[in-house]
Structure 1
Amino acid sequence: MKYIIETSKHQSFSEASKALFISQSTLSTAIKSVEESLGIILFHRNNRGVTLTYDGEDYLKYAKEIVYQSEQLEQRYQSRKYLPMRFSVSTQRLPFAVRSFTKLTSDLNLDTYDIAIRECPTYSVIHDVATHRSELGILSIHNSYISSIKKVLVSYNLCFNEISQLKPYVFINSLHPLATKKSISLEDLEPYPFVTYDQKIDLSHFTEEILFYKLLNRNIHVSDRCTKIALVRNCNCFSIGPDLTNSNADIFHKGLGEILAIPLKNFPEPLHLGYISLISQPLSKLSKQYLRYLESDVKTIAKL
């Protein structure tokens, strides 16, 4: 295709062969082979040079697009050779995982790098790591579900590496009727809507939250953290988990009210926080650096 494009550009086999750094006979033979294979004539040949036939013009439109896409694909992966750092992490909607990624990004004193973070449901985190889309997956798993999750991971050749065990908190806004309590029980929460992440899969152990089936009279399912935060800030809703970002510093959030983290009463079972990775693949330098930031951040939460 490149030969044909170049020949069309120069309207001469000899000039095109010079531009391509090949012999004229090699070029002519290659184009003739394409014509015979497709059963069409691409060029009118005469003593003054060559011109495209109608079929040749039609062929050239598609050939240019294919060659362009091919070159773009080559450039994408050839350029990776010059990117000294590549790293991707997939995580449940966990603020400390994002904070750790931010710290990692701040410390990358490099001209070029290629890194990514993906906040997604639990099953997507597992799929990303299993398919090499991400090197690490960050999961917070309820104690009751840790065994079943580990069985799922083994089937994907993944392992779970625990970092810490965290206490669950109830998140409500500062004007909520329960805001003055030092701890909140499940019974206290029954009258209020529960804001929960939609996992798109009907398996309770895939959630990063604690599900209480007797609280399912009022549920609000959301797909991202920003929506959950907005609902908790503006309504008498509640959320449960190890962490929920609270940003009240800029004009967009001004006056919307702080989000409070209040311990969940009489709930001894912890949340197991850890990372998943492929059993057969050693961790990269960036993965280890990211995990150090994550462990440091989580230690602060665990002391609360």
Structure 2
Amino acid sequence: MTLQNLKYILEIADSRSLSKAARKLFISQSTLSAALKELETDLGVELFQRTNRGVTLTYDGEDFIRYAREIVEQTQYLEQRYHSRKSLPMRFSVSTQHLPFSVRAFIELFKEADTDTYDMAIRECDTNSVIHDVAGNKSELGILAIQESHLRTMEKLLVSYEIEFTEVACVNNFVFFRKSHPLAEKTEVTLKDLEKYPFVTYDQEIETSHFSEEPLFYKLLSKNVHVSDRCTKIALVRNTDCFSIGPDLTNSNADAFHKGTGEVVARSLKHEIGYLHLGYLHRKWSTVSQLGEKFLSYLKRDIRNLIASGQK
């Protein structure tokens, strides 16, 4: 089976006639018939039914065409991609939970994109999507914060996807709320303190605790607000008595990405729910690219600075 034969079959299916397809392909009808017969013999199935009015797809032919069309379209995409530009010297993608230090590391990497062509992507998404992006080769790296009690469960899951988790740091959890919040005067906050306030949490595609980005997960609290993006979470924390929990919400109380985030403060959460393990995912049998290594160096530097700041 060749790519050329697949193109022949698609043209026959679209034209519904061997003679019309041959004219469009600028080949003889006998050549096209021979190619079709050869392919059907190799596959051991009949792709078309011949009638006086032309040809129609058999059941096997309909199934075959779906896959053949996808292969040809992907090949055409590759040809167009690389014929239009000889090279893409900078190509990198990362998927991450809603973690500001991932974004900051990506920005530092992006600043080095001084070439004429590049193709870079960062995807902030839920935990399940991060895993599938890396497993499906959509992203080279995935950035996760995993609760200590869920670390072993998550590592077992990642083995089934042939993905490795490499830990960068183990960090404390902080509670984030606005400066005018009733708990803002405290230097350390307990879970008991938080019970009567709304917990704003990232929605997960899979409602299983080890997929949660936040250590508490919504099932443990009575007031919960689910969001899908970081800007909405910050807006709720800034303007209401909602609180957030994690290693980082803004850039240590003030993030240049968001006007007014200086109104958000971080307070240490008493060690009742364990630590967070920050790290990155990559496919087990692949090596990290040079751009990936640069991104990780920025990520590790930012996390070190985060730890050193103590969210003060």
User: Compared with structure 1, are the counterparts of its residues 266 and 73 closer, same or farther at alpha carbon in structure 2 (3 Å cutoff)?
Assistant: closer
Unaligned runs of 5+ in 1: 3-25, 42-66
Say whether residues 1:191 and 2:196 are aligned partners: yes
Matches for 1:113-262 after TM superposition, within 5 Å: 113-211=118-216, 215-245=220-250, 253=259, 258-262=263-267
Deviation at 1:175, TM superposition (A): 1.0
Unaligned runs of 5+ in 2: 1-6, 9-24, 37-47, 54-71
Regions of 4+ moved over 3 Å: 30-34, 36-41, 67-73, 77-81, 212-215, 246-250
The AA in structure 2 aligned to 1:290 is F
The answer to whether the Cα contact below 8 Å between 2:165 and 2:281 also exists between their aligned partners in 1 is yes
CA deviation map 1:196-217 (0-9, x unaligned): 1111212100011111677421
Q: Which residue of 1 aligns with 2:44?
A: none
SS where residue 82 of structure 1 aligns? Answer: coil
Deviation at 1:111, TM superposition (A): 1.4
SS where residue 154 of structure 1 aligns? Answer: helix
Looking at structure 2, the residues matched to 178 and 153 of structure 1 have their Cα atoms a distance apart, in angstroms, of: 38
The answer to whether the Cα contact below 8 Å between 1:137 and 1:276 also exists between their aligned partners in 2 is yes
User: Compared with structure 1, are the counterparts of its residues 249 and 271 closer, same or farther at alpha carbon in structure 2 (3 Å cutoff)?
Assistant: closer
Q: Which residue of 2 aligns with 1:52?
A: none
User: Compared with structure 1, are the counterparts of its residues 268 and 189 closer, same or farther at alpha carbon in structure 2 (3 Å cutoff)?
Assistant: closer
Select the structure of larger CA radius of gyration: 1
Looking at structure 1, the residues matched to 30 and 264 of structure 2 have their Cα atoms a distance apart, in angstroms, of: 70
Q: What is the TM-score of this pair, normalised by structure 1?
A: 0.75
Which deviates more from structure 2 when the two are superposed, residues 277-286 or residues 214-223? 214-223
SS where residue 123 of structure 1 aligns? Answer: helix
User: Compared with structure 1, are the counterparts of its residues 127 and 265 closer, same or farther at alpha carbon in structure 2 (3 Å cutoff)?
Assistant: same
Q: Which residue of 2 aligns with 1:29?
A: 28
The AA in structure 2 aligned to 1:297 is D
The answer to whether the Cα contact below 8 Å between 1:175 and 1:257 also exists between their aligned partners in 2 is no
Deviation at 1:133, TM superposition (A): 0.5
The answer to whether the Cα contact below 8 Å between 1:197 and 1:222 also exists between their aligned partners in 2 is yes
Deviation at 1:267, TM superposition (A): 3.5
The AA in structure 2 aligned to 1:242 is P
Q: Cα RMSD between the aligned structures?
A: 3.4
Which deviates more from structure 2 when the two are superposed, residues 256-265 or residues 104-113? 256-265
